[in-house]
């Protein structure tokens, strides 16, 4: 059965993909193909068909053949034809059967009753109106070349906006030429280590995301843990790690324990990188979201040639946006671009242009200020409820970000996490974040994502949290 596309530039109506029998009367073959397209849902109710002259030209048929086929389907009730409205698919008594879902899709896991998982901003807080306004404005202003083959660095509009914004808000020292747009922190790690831009072992914090460790292990990267204490990551330990060529740190707000990196240890990391030609990878995942004081500036400002700064919109806007950026030492720009390569790895141009407009218009600053107030209130409610109902549970770390760590009595974490599961409360214990080779003593605690629940569900989530906490020893 030959396949034919109906795509005349002059016709009005839906694009069609029809299969006409190779033998037999052409009118009957066309009528049968149209019936099948209606029956299987490819032509839905109310869809306008091309004028018979256009369809005849596209299929290489006589005009009368198409006109007769249309007339036959109108008479049978498949189509309707009205003056000025064209020929359309008629309302039908029996709708097309829905596609059968795979068995696995029908058995999707049930959502938790209360969600306090970390790393997820309140989805209802996404600035839909501002994003929509910026999209319209950015598309209207975008040059035609923006929608052709582009620069693997990312759109110049966004890189320029980020260079100014990061300098103003985080103290980052850079130019648009040293910024490369990516789809988030995980993508940045793959670009840096998957393509061999950075080689050798990687020093990481004793507590961090197991997902990142697994991603690095899949790329053949050995991770070496650095100790942690009340002053942050023990960066002085870098001097004794001879195989380490790069160090991954979360200096503004250690993840997940929540403390900032002390000034002396910031300097120690820079001194180590300079002495051996190493690189500090600064994960500034929520640096804008500090609530008790002005955010501490980025470590990158101390030495842009030895610090690789990574940020994203996943905490400030949405995890679904998949939009991040790397501020690179100059010597690493070309190797990263060579690794990035194929355009399939590039972030949507429309999202880049929209985010650039959101920044330059001031809407992003306004959104950040609103989120600071919202999440500050969320954290304050958490600490107030705990002070009243579980005063023996300590909330650790600085007032920042989207999560807090609750320290538990030794030996109680596993049972508390199990109790949370029974109650339908989704949250994490600290054990899953500890590096398996860490020398830092294990800590018992819960990682509570206070930003995740919508406003109407937050009180119930806090009540469930208090129910599962261990009693005072």
Output the furthest CA–CA distance in the chain (Å, rounded).
90
Which H or E run includes 308?
Answer: strand 307-312
Q: Tell me how many degrees the CA angle 381-387-389 measures, rounded to the nearest 5.
A: 95
At 278, list the tokens: 């190493």
Going by pLDDT thresholds of 50, 70 and 90, the confidence category of residue 440 is confident
pLDDT at residue 469, as a whole number = 95
Q: Tell me how many degrees the CA angle 467-471-472 measures, rounded to the nearest 5.
A: 145
Average predicted confidence (pLDDT) for the chain: 89
Question: Looking at 127-131, 148-152, 163-167, which range is the least confident one?
Answer: 148-152
Overall average pLDDT of the 347-356 stretch: 95
370: CB partners within 8 A, 6+ apart: 125
Going by pLDDT thresholds of 50, 70 and 90, the confidence category of residue 93 is very low
Domains belonging to the chain, first-starting first, are 3-89 (1.10.10.10), 128-365 (3.40.640.10), 367-468 (3.90.1150.10)
Going by pLDDT thresholds of 50, 70 and 90, the confidence category of residue 471 is confident
Q: Which one has a higher pLDDT value, 107 or 31? A: 31
Q: Is the pLDDT of residue 344 over 90?
A: no
Q: Is the pLDDT of residue 345 over 80?
A: no
pLDDT at residue 1, as a whole number = 43
Place of tokens 């101390």: 302
Overall average pLDDT of the 59-70 stretch: 87
Overall average pLDDT of the 174-180 stretch: 97
For residue 47, the tally of other CB atoms under 10 A from its CB is 16
Give the C-alpha separation, 348 to 338, whole Å.
Answer: 19
For residue 93, the tally of other CB atoms under 10 A from its CB is 5
Q: Is the pLDDT of residue 312 over 90?
A: yes
Cβ atoms 280, 306 nearer than 8 A: yes
Q: Tens digits of per-residue pLDDT, 424-437? A: 999 999 999 999 99
At 82, list the tokens: 């009205």
What percentage of the chain has pLDDT greater than the value 90? 69
pLDDT at residue 133, as a whole number = 98
pLDDT at residue 111, as a whole number = 77
Q: Which one has a higher pLDDT value, 452 or 195? A: 452
At 284, list the tokens: 């500034």
pLDDT at residue 335, as a whole number = 95
Give the C-alpha separation, 200 to 241, whole Å.
Answer: 11
């Amino acid at each position: 059965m030959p396949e034919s596309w109906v795509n005349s530039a002059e016709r009005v109506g839906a694009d069609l993909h029809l299969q006409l029998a190779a033998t037999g009367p052409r009118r009957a073959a066309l009528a049968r193909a149209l019936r099948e397209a209606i029956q299987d849902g490819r032509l839905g109710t109310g869809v306008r068909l091309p004028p018979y002259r256009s369809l005849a030209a596209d299929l290489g048929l006589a005009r009368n053949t198409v006109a007769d086929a249309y007339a036959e389907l109108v008479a049978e009730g498949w189509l309707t034809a009205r003056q000025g409205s064209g020929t359309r698919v008629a309302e039908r008594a029996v709708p097309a059967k829905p596609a059968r879902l795979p068995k696995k899709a029908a058995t999707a896991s049930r959502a938790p009753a209360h969600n306090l998982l970390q790393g997820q901003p309140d989805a209802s807080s996404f600035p839909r109106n501002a994003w929509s306004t910026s999209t319209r404005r950015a598309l209207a202003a975008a040059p035609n070349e923006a929608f052709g083959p582009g620069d693997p660095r990312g759109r110049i509009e966004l890189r320029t906006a980020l260079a100014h914004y990061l300098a103003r808000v985080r103290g980052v020292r850079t130019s648009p030429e040293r910024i490369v747009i990516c789809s988030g922190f995980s993508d940045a790690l793959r670009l840096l280590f998957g393509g061999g831009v950075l080689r050798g072992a990687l020093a990481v914090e004793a507590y961090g995301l197991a997902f990142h460790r697994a991603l690095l292990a899949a790329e053949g990267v050995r991770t070496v843990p650095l100790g942690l204490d009340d002053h942050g990551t023990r960066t002085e330990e870098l001097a004794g790690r001879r195989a380490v060529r790069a160090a991954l740190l979360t200096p503004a707000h250690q993840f997940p324990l929540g403390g900032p990196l002390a000034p002396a240890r910031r300097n120690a990391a820079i001194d180590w990188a300079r002495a051996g030609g190493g690189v500090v990878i600064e994960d500034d995942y929520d640096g804008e979201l500090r609530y008790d004081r002005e955010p501490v500036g980025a470590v990158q400002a101390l030495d842009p040639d030895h610090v690789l700064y990574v940020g994203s919109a996943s905490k400030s806007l949405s995890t679904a946006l998949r939009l991040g950026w790397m501020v690179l030492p100059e010597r690493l720009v070309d190797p990263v671009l060579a690794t990035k390569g194929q355009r399939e790895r590039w972030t949507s141009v429309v999202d880049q242009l929209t985010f650039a407009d959101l920044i330059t218009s001031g809407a992003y600053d306004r959104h950040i200020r609103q989120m600071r107030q919202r999440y500050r209130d969320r954290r304050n409610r958490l600490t107030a409820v705990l002070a009243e109902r579980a005063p023996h549970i300590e909330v650790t770390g600085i007032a920042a970000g989207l999560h807090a760590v609750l320290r538990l009595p030794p030996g109680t974490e596993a049972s508390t996490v199990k109790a949370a599961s029974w109650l339908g409360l989704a949250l994490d214990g600290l054990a899953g974040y500890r590096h398996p080779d860490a020398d830092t003593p294990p800590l018992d605690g819960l990682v509570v994502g206070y930003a995740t629940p919508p406003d109407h569900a937050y009180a119930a989530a806090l009540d469930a949290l208090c129910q599962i906490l261990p009693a005072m020893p």
